[in-house]
């Protein structure tokens, strides 16, 4: 995926594969006897705090927005075991890592404060008056 030797996150940003730590372990689930003998589950670890690919602002954004996924030592962990081959799981894990970082670096649109229109305010107050009048009439009928 992406440039050779790097995981492409955006056209301007790529994470060097040298910064990634890859572990292969046995995966659970379907696969019969093959799953018991093959280490196809991939665990991909990346430390955004030490990454040369990120600038200071980007590093702060990733740390803030992915804080729940980063462990105490600063590692971001992505796991893939859906596919049957180690290579496919590695590609899937790299893709998921790129999506996570891309999402964390995306510029959020600022919310524009809105107000109800004059017609909406008048309609709400008219409905309140109607409701109050209905209750008033019921109260008069009981007494």
**pLDDT 10s digit of each residue in the chain, 143 long?**
555 688 888 888 889 889 899 888 877 766 666 666 777 888 999 998 888 888 889 888 888 898 898 889 989 999 988 887 888 999 999 999 999 998 988 888 999 999 999 999 999 999 999 999 999 999 887 76
Q: Which helix (H) or strand (E) holds 143?
A: none
Terminal Cα distance for the chain, rounded = 79
Q: Are 43 and 58 in contact (CB under 8 A)?
A: no
Task: Report phi then psi at 78, rounded to 5.
Answer: -125, 135
Domains defined for the chain, CATH in brackets: 6-105 (3.30.160.20)
Predicted structure pTM score? 0.68
**What DSSP assignment string belongs to 33-83?**
HHHHH---EEEEEE-GGG-SSS-HHHHHHHHHHTGGGB-TTS-EEEEE-SS
Greatest alpha-carbon span in the chain? 86
d(CA 81, CA 66): 22
């Amino acid at each position: 995926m992406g440039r050779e030797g790097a995981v492409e996150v955006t056209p301007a940003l790529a994470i060097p594969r040298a910064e990634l730590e890859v572990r292969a372990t046995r995966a659970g689930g379907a696969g019969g006897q093959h799953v018991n003998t093959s280490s196809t589950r991939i665990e991909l670890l990346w430390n955004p705090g030490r990454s040369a690919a990120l600038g200071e602002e980007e590093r702060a954004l990733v740390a803030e927005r992915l804080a729940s996924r980063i462990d105490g030592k600063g590692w971001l962990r992505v796991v893939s075991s859906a596919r049957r081959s180690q290579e496919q799981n590695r590609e899937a894990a790299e893709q998921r890592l790129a999506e996570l970082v891309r999402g964390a670096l995306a510029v959020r649109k600022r919310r524009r404060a809105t107000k109800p229109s004059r017609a909406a305010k008048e309609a709400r107050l008219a409905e309140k008056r109607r409701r109050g009048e209905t209750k008033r009439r019921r109260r008069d009928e009981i007494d």
